[in-house]
Amino acid sequence: LMDFFSLWSLIKILTRERPDIVPLSSSKAGGLGAAAARLASLFARRPPLVIFTVHGWGFNEDRPAWQRAAIFFLSWIATLFQDRIILIDTADYRAAKRFIPREKLVLIHNGISPPVLIPRPEARIFIARQIGRAIGPDTVLIGTIAELTKNKGLKHLINAINQVKSKIHPAFSRTNFPPEADPPPADKLQIVIIGGGEEKENLQNKIRSLGLENMIRLAGFIPNASRYLKALDIFVLPSLKEGLPYAAMEAMSAGVAVIASRVGGITDLIEDKKNGLLVPPKDIDALSSAIMTFAAGIIERNAMAHAARTKIEREFGLNAMIENTLNLYAS
């Protein structure tokens, strides 16, 4: 019922304003907005150009098969009312070509300006205050910036940290770590999850049930959180679904080593073992192994972090994204 009222409200607004271009983002807005634009154009001399930007297809989410099929069908119906569809990553572009006419599709990668960064000592002091725990100079600080939803896979990160804790034990063999480095003791690992969302209580309960309160902290929402990226030694994005995530791009631009799931546009950003580490989504063993590799190997993670920053600077600049988007609008 609320969707119907939203559709009617959009029709009234578009009829009154008569825009030349209607840009849409997110699956529901992409459908409702496109339908509203088409209905409103019945009363206009010239229909607006409807441009929908896909930030990850909804049918790729971790849902029951019947729900994914329904979302796929509705996504296809919505494309009938959309003139151009912007894909921000190669994986979604390839998927789109299977059910959308190619002339409607445009690949425009996200782009960023280098984030304004607070120096590492000040950033670590700030994060320490947020989590209520000291962060020493020899602490390996692992973090992520994400909305606390199921799609971000944060429960899998918590499980992976629990596995890491069990392996970093005095009796644990160092053969699981790179031969050139010793594993850090568990009390020298700290994990901070920055962000808010619907899964906060579930994640907190999971942390408590595993006895990880001394290792993992939920810092909540922090405005302009990317400013504090220099505080981190490792950035982890264990998502189940992604488009081209700004959080990972900002971490790479900040020179932080990144571990991420091999989903969506993340593979546009990260080449495994060259400028970061990729793991299958929901694979606890692979994620814990990647965390241990970076935690124990400072030389390796610094080299990959440098390569990641170079890739962002060369291939994912803000100006290129703006120019390509304006060219599409002008056409």
Q: With bands split at pLDDT 50, 70 and 90, how would you rate the model's confidence at 28?
A: confident
Phi-psi region of 42 (alpha: psi -120 to 50; beta: other; left: phi over 0): alpha
Helices within 44-141 (DSSP H only): 65-79, 90-96, 120-131
Q: What is the mean pLDDT of residues 57-63?
A: 80
- Which pLDDT value is given to residue 180? 46
Residue bearing tokens 């790479």: 252
Tens-digit pLDDT profile for residues 278-318? 999 999 999 999 999 999 888 889 999 999 999 999 999 99
Q: How far is CA 178 from CA 54, 173, 181, 291, in A?
A: 40, 12, 6, 12
CB 246 within 8 A of CB 110: yes
- Which pLDDT value is given to residue 183? 52
Tens-digit pLDDT profile for residues 93-119? 999 999 999 999 999 999 999 889 999
Distance CA 260, CA 287 (A): 9
More confident residue, 46 or 241: 241
Tens-digit pLDDT profile for residues 160-190? 999 998 876 543 334 444 444 555 555 688 9
CB 140 within 8 A of CB 191: no
Distance CA 168, CA 182 (A): 10
Residue type, 299: I
Residue 261 forms beta bridges with which residues?
Answer: 279
User: Residue 216 phi/psi, 5° resolution?
Assistant: -115, 130
Distance CA 88, CA 15 (A): 30
- Which pLDDT value is given to residue 187? 60
CB 34 within 8 A of CB 7: no
Strand order across the beta sheet in which 234-237 lies: 216-220, 189-194, 140-145, 234-237, 257-261, 277-279
Q: Which of 110, 52, 93 is nearest to 244 (CA)?
A: 110
CB 273 within 8 A of CB 246: no
More confident residue, 265 or 56: 265
- Which pLDDT value is given to residue 177? 44
Tens-digit pLDDT profile for residues 203-261? 999 999 999 998 999 999 999 999 999 999 999 999 999 989 999 999 999 999 999 99
More confident residue, 134 or 61: 134
Q: Is the pLDDT of residue 64 over 60?
A: yes
- Which pLDDT value is given to residue 184? 57
